[in-house]
């Protein structure tokens, strides 16, 4: 059985996922149009999320935990704080991307949502990302944390869909050209 690894993320027009200090204050608050940009459909298709420690710690600052019915794996070499109410929902592992996929395959996972810049970059370097959904927010923030980093080789993707939204967001979906 093969696990599908998907990225679903927003970037600024200049390609950043957060400011240098990790702030995402440039992301617009939810609007009243009811548009979810395909998130509900996407999140319902996944078995679990894999994110890095920095992303996990950022999500902990949100008003509510957004992944109530999904298991979350935090990749970290340290021991991040796990609130009691998340003890059965969050697991911290220190594994390479390939070792993690072996573990998840053994547990029957079929579709993984990958989040966090460094974590996404690690999986990309290993050629393990199957699809990217990138929503571009029409704002320039000048500098910050890039979605993509240095690579050992080119990684080709094919555009499978692109949508424009009334608020100026553009969402593009890509499939790995393996």
Q: What domains are defined for the chain?
A: 4-176 (3.40.430.10)
Residues 45-90 pLDDT 10s = 999 999 999 999 999 998 889 987 899 999 998 888 888 989 899 9
pLDDT averaged over the chain? 92
C-alpha 138/C-alpha 14 separation (Å) is 9
Total Cβ atoms within 10 A of residue 1 = 7
Paired tokens of 16: 């950043």
> Which residue ranges of the chain lie beneath pLDDT 50?
none
Paired tokens of 69: 């019915």
C-alpha 39/C-alpha 5 separation (Å) is 16
pTM for the model: 0.92
């Amino acid at each position: 059985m093969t696990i599908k690894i998907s990225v679903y993320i927003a970037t600024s027009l200049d390609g950043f996922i957060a400011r240098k200090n990790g702030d995402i204050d440039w992301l617009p608050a939810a609007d009243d149009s009811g548009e979810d940009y395909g998130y509900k459909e996407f999140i319902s298709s996944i078995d679990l999320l894999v994110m890095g420690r920095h992303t996990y710690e950022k999500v902990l600052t949100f008003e509510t935990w957004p992944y109530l019915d999904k298991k979350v794996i935090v990749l970290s070499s340290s021991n991040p704080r796990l609130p009691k109410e998340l003890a059965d929902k969050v697991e911290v592992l220190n594994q390479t991307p390939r070792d993690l996929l072996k573990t998840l395959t053994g547990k029957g996972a079929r579709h993984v949502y990958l989040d966090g810049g460094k974590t996404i970059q690690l999986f990309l370097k290993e050629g393990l990302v199957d699809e990217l959904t990138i929503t571009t927010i029409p704002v320039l923030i000048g500098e910050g944390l890039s979605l993509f980093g240095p690579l050992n080789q080119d990684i080709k993707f094919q555009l499978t869909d692109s949508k424009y939204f009334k608020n100026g967001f553009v969402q593009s979906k890509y499939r790995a050209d393996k």
